[in-house]
Amino acid sequence: MNITNIGQIFNYLAEHKVIRSYEKKGIRRSTVERELAKLLDNHLHRLDDLDEFLSTQGMQLKTLNTQEYGIANQGRVYVLIRQLGENESPAHLQTKQVWEMFKGKSRKDTQKNIVIWTSYLYLHLLHFLYTLDNRPVEGISAFGDTWIDHDIFKEDIIKSIDELRQSKASGPYAESKIYECLCNFKDTEITTRVGRFFTNLIKFGILEQVVDTELRMSRSDTARVIYRQTLWSAVDVAENFNRYASLLIQAPTDNKVYQLSKVSS
């Protein structure tokens, strides 16, 4: 594998995140993906140069056997994910631009508020994708079976915020800036924020919208918008959940002894 090949593979993975070497009904592969998949298959045990290059970018290549994960009867999936053990984002990843994509027009949308809201919504997303189905974070093969209804998710967020408002005055975190941020938005603003959240997750390749032919809905249900997790997201969570969890959920210190279970219940 030469430098040109490595560049082609990296550029494709940087945009699409996965390269599939299998055929399956409903999966459309471009000519470029087919060629790169063949190249990777042919160099399966000789990817040291590619791995070394990806490491300099703070990334790594995860190779999955599709049969082991119930994805297809044969073939492989090559997935680009963050390098394990790297807590800091690679310099070439512009995190500021990512946060800007979640920003609304309101003056209340400071970067701190954006981080709080996006983290809160992401925790709820993990709840819908994993907790509700009693699915372990390592459960990659279930990525296509876990669907999220946009409206149900939105109503759950509004309900949870309303519960925070009701308990805020007497709760141990009454002075918390996080509580203040979450409770200081109207339901209409929350609806807009949830919509922007899903739009960006699709752009980032974390979710995809389920097409009408798969839903088989009645006419009365045609307005429903359903999402499901992508294969890349399932692999990323399985490999990097501990990193994400440590950023979103911080363990209590000696002088702040409130239990995390009480906060999240």
Co-location of 105 and 78 in the same domain:
no
Co-location of 28 and 103 in the same domain:
no
Domain for residue 90, yes or no? no
Domain count, the chain: 2
**pLDDT of residue 91 exceeding 60:** yes
Per the DSSP assignment, residues forming a β-bridge with 81 are 60
Task: Name the pairing type of β-strands 76-82 and 18-20.
Answer: antiparallel
Domain for residue 242, yes or no? yes
Domain for residue 88, yes or no? no
Domain for residue 139, yes or no? yes
Mean pLDDT, the chain, whole residue set: 81
The answer to which of 131-135, 167-171, 246-250 has the lowest mean pLDDT is 246-250
Last residue of a domain, one of 23, 53, 82: 82
Q: Which residues contact 25 (CB under 8 A, 6 or more apart)?
A: none
In this prediction, residues 182-197 reach a mean pLDDT of 90
Last residue of a domain, one of 24, 59, 82: 82
Given strand 18-20, what is the order of strands in its sheet? 18-20, 76-82, 59-65
**CA 207 – CA 213 distance, rounded (Å):** 18
Co-location of 238 and 193 in the same domain:
yes
Domain for residue 103, yes or no? yes
Last residue of a domain, one of 82, 109, 131: 82
Contact 170, 78 (CB under 8 A): no
Q: Give 110-154 pLDDT, tens digit per residue.
A: 888 888 899 899 989 999 999 888 888 888 888 878 889 999 999
Determine the pLDDT at residue 12.
95
Tell me the two tokens of residue 129.
């994708």
Co-location of 71 and 120 in the same domain:
no
**pLDDT of residue 204 exceeding 70:** yes
**pLDDT of residue 41 exceeding 80:** yes
Co-location of 14 and 105 in the same domain:
no
Domain for residue 132, yes or no? yes
In this prediction, residues 151-180 reach a mean pLDDT of 79
Higher pLDDT: 217 or 18? It is 18
* Domain with 24 in it: 3-82
Q: Give 210-245 pLDDT, tens digit per residue.
A: 876 565 655 555 568 999 999 999 999 888 887 766
Q: Which residues contact 127 (CB under 8 A, 6 or more apart)?
A: none
DSSP 220: G
